[in-house]
Amino acid sequence: MTEKKEETTANGTSRRDFIKNTSLAAAGFMIVPRFVLGGKGYTAPSDMLNVAGIGAGGKGESDIAAFAKSGKANIAFLCDVDDRRAAKSRASFPKAKYYKDWRELYDKESKNFDAVSVSTPDHNHAIIAYGAMQMGKHVYVQKPLTHDLWEARLLTDAAKKYKVVTQMGNQGASNDGTRLMSEWYDEGLIGDVHTVYCWTNRPVWPQGIKWPDPSQNIPKELDWDLWLGTAPKKDYVDKLVPFNWRGWWDYGTGALGDMGCHLVEAPFRVLGIRYAKDVQASVGSVYVDEFKQGRFPESCPPSSHITLTFPKTAKTKGDITLHWMDGGIQPERPIELGADEKWGGEEGNGTLFIGTKGKMYASTYSDAATLLPKSRMENVKAKQKYARVPGGASGHYAQWVEACIAGYGKQEVSSPFEIAGPLTEALLMANLAVRGHDLKGGTIKMLWDNDAMKVTNFADANQFVKRNYREGFVLKA
């Protein structure tokens, strides 16, 4: 799939014309299938996707391995700012050329790969993905799609503009559960849904804390400036890399950004919702001494309860109220559940739909989809309406690889940016209420103008819709 310069034969004929002419002359001979020429299990180079993996450790490591497992992806390049994190991927794919700076990779190797996987901290997702899309490369981007609302809208529009295959890394979107619940809802088994609850045990990293003191112990394997990327210049601090960045607004998007794309995806698909029209939030308090409340605006709060209102859709009779709860907060147990029946999934994550005729819920990645009371599961019958993704959540990766090989618009993917973008926007808009709580000193109902992408009744919150990037990391839209 990689673009190559046209070759010529010794007499000046183009290689394309030469092949065309000689093929016509040889038409009387037997045409031998490629699998015979290459042997059993052979995959022709034209059926392989050359992938550049940016962010090769942690989630990036598992993403890259999953692409390769499809049998149709060649991991051609690896890129990571931290040699320690990249070590396992480099050992697994020794033929992949390695870079530390994605900008250098793009400058030098743009003709040698077809697609890019972005598995970096949230604050660098958009600039890396957009640069790839501008070159006509297909992109797979970890959740949340972006750090800022403006970035999410930009990438959504770019997917259409540059005609590339896109997928966000919320693999539950490929699970059977979200499709099964769609079929139950379409059959009217729980009536009209008006309220949804989504909850998580995240954060499982420190939040609601003071910014640490600077450290001089920058690991020699880490390029700290490259890790900061678009974020403001700051001195290195311990324990931010590789994971705890999620709890700091400069880099992460908190518990909502981490798990929202997994848990809110099902309501988006089942109910056909897209953009919210208002939001409000209450957040957990932190006390640093007796009756002395701490204020740490750089850090996400330890817990929150956010309420979003979505307008009526083609699949609902009225507005939908969606509650988001994190930090271990959960909704009241449905009365249809027995006292000893499991609730919320073993990992503390779940989604509950409340309809006029019943309820249904699922756990992380829309696993264990269940009608309530559970006795309904014994006799439930709904016609399969939505095609399943082979392998479910695990098949999310191969689905994207195969769609890239087929070409833009040829094969469906579960979380293209036309879906992932609006989902991400709704979650990031909810975070405006979380951050606005600190600015306001309390809860406020924020009214959202989706077309203008701004809060209309609390202008201070709009500073978080779009950041200013640091010099040297410019997104050229």
- Give 165-207 as a DSSP string: -EEES-GGGGSHHHHHHHHHHHTTTT--EEEEEEE-----S--
Measured torsion, CA atoms of residues 234, 240, 242, 243, in degrees rounded to the nearest 10? -130
CATH number of 173-390+417-464, picked from 1.20.1510.10, 2.60.40.1930, 3.40.50.300, 3.30.360.10 = 3.30.360.10
Model pLDDT, residue 346:
66
In angstroms, rounded to a whole number, what is the distance separating the alpha carbons of residues 189 and 71? 40
Q: Is the pTM of this model over 0.85?
A: yes
Binned at pLDDT 50, 70 and 90, residue 340 comes out as: confident
Fold matches, 45-172 and 173-390+417-464: no
Judged by DSSP in three states, 67 sits in helix
pLDDT above 70: percentage of residues in the chain? 90
In angstroms, rounded to a whole number, what is the distance separating the alpha carbons of residues 444 and 437? 7
Is residue 39 pLDDT above 90, yes or no? no
E-strand stretches of 126-165:
138-141
Binned at pLDDT 50, 70 and 90, residue 343 comes out as: confident
Q: Domain spanning 45-172 has what CATH number?
A: 3.40.50.720
Model pLDDT, residue 347:
73
- pLDDT tens digits, residue range 225-245? 999 999 999 999 999 999 999
Is residue 220 pLDDT above 60, yes or no? yes
Domain chopping of the chain, boundaries: 45-172, 173-390+417-464
Binned at pLDDT 50, 70 and 90, residue 442 comes out as: confident
In angstroms, rounded to a whole number, what is the distance separating the alpha carbons of residues 64 and 61? 5
